[in-house]
Amino acid sequence: MGVVLSMEEGKRGAASIAALVNLTRADMGRVNELILSKAGSDVEMIPEVANHLISSGGKRLRPMLTLASAQMFGYSGDSHVKLAASVEFMHTATLLHDDVVDESGLRRGKQTARMIWGNQASVLVGDFLLGQAFRMMVEVGSLDCLDILSAAATVIAEGEVMQLGVAKNLETTEDDYLSVIKAKTAALFSAAAEVGPVIAEAGRTDRAALRSYGVNLGLAFQLIDDALDYGGSAQDLGKNVGDDFREGKVTLPVILSYRRGSGEERAFWRRAIEQNESGDTELEHALGLMAKHGAIGDTVARARHFGGIARDALAPLRNSPHKTALLDVIEFCVNRVN
């Protein structure tokens, strides 16, 4: 079924997040405590729904970025822990709402909250977590951080709405697609990385470096995510291979295959994406067309392109274990299996 990334690359990817994990281990312990505590409520259903997703084994990459980017500029206070938890709550809220919007059945290999508690609870607990995220930011009291993160919240929602317009629309260009993933995914990576130097009172150049690192890392991350939807296995992904195909999502592998395809191939894509003829047989055929046109390989190549920009964004910063760890994250994202 067209597994594109070799195991070797996968292992290298899996290894390369280790430095970030090690550097942020102690602080992440506090972030995880804070997450559990702030997901609490006297309203019983809230912690139930929230913890279902919180405990589902996400990597917590975004809060680790916040912690590392604060540490690397010598930050010694407590606020980065609260900001990191805020960032993870913003992400969790988005996932809860996404699953409702996409009508998803599985997330990270588990039933989605909406399948267990219904769409209603998913929408409202998402709203609760977003509220809690803002409360933690307000506790930190940095208007600059509030500005960055509230702007990100708006942009993420814009990206999700843009994505509705892109769904089932094969006239979507690569540029349209990039606008969507920049808003829905890269904006939060960027905000997560930028609030580190801000809370550490680093200079404008350092802020700009981390912001640029974050946005390009986020683009690479989402491109690989969209490639993996056609190239991984359900176990690796925690979701079903071909989910995007069945939902008629127009991601870059589809865009490239459609644009590079013959008239007959385009007719196939229209039936599959626009008319929901997207069963197992069609998925098999789609994977064949992607292989023929190098669509997955080129999606990964685009990810490497943005990974390179992220790398250069950090280049001017002095060497440190944190800088090395953040550079490793780029490799992890570009080479990851899940």
List residues binding a copy of itself (CB under 8 A): 41-46, 97, 100-101, 119-121, 123-125, 127-128, 130-132, 134-135, 137-138, 141, 143, 146-147, 150-151, 153-158, 160-162, 164-165
CA dist 250 and 170 (Å) reads: 7
Q: How far is CA 301 from CA 11, 56, 305, 311, in A?
A: 19, 30, 6, 15
Smallest gap from residue 3 Cβ to a copy of itself (A): 32
Q: Which is nearer to a copy of itself, 33 or 127 (CB)?
A: 127
Q: Which is nearer to a copy of itself, 128 or 230 (CB)?
A: 128
Structure tokens at 167: 């769904």
Q: Which is nearer to a copy of itself, 142 or 320 (CB)?
A: 142
Q: Can you give the C-alpha Rg of the chain in angstroms?
A: 20
Smallest gap from residue 141 Cβ to a copy of itself (A): 6
CB 310 within 8 A of CB 287: no
CA dist 106 and 110 (Å) reads: 5
Smallest gap from residue 102 Cβ to a copy of itself (A): 8
Smallest gap from residue 148 Cβ to a copy of itself (A): 9
Q: Which of 82, 59, 61 is nearest to 189 (CA)?
A: 61
CA dist 315 and 327 (Å) reads: 10
Smallest gap from residue 156 Cβ to a copy of itself (A): 8
Smallest gap from residue 289 Cβ to a copy of itself (A): 28
Q: Which is nearer to a copy of itself, 18 or 161 (CB)?
A: 161
Smallest gap from residue 160 Cβ to a copy of itself (A): 5
CB 45 within 8 A of CB 120: no
Q: How far is CA 166 from the centre of its chain?
A: 18
CB 278 within 8 A of CB 241: no
Q: Three-state SS for 107?
A: strand
Residue matched to tokens 């067209």: 2
Q: Which is nearer to a copy of itself, 86 or 216 (CB)?
A: 86
Q: Which of 82, 96, 84 is nearest to 125 (CA)?
A: 96
Q: Which is nearer to a copy of itself, 29 or 131 (CB)?
A: 131
Q: Which is nearer to a copy of itself, 54 or 333 (CB)?
A: 54
State the sign of the Cα–Cα–Cα–Cα dihedral 32, 122, 232, 157: negative
Residue 158: CB atoms within 10 Å: 15
Q: Which is nearer to a copy of itself, 157 or 309 (CB)?
A: 157
Smallest gap from residue 254 Cβ to a copy of itself (A): 20
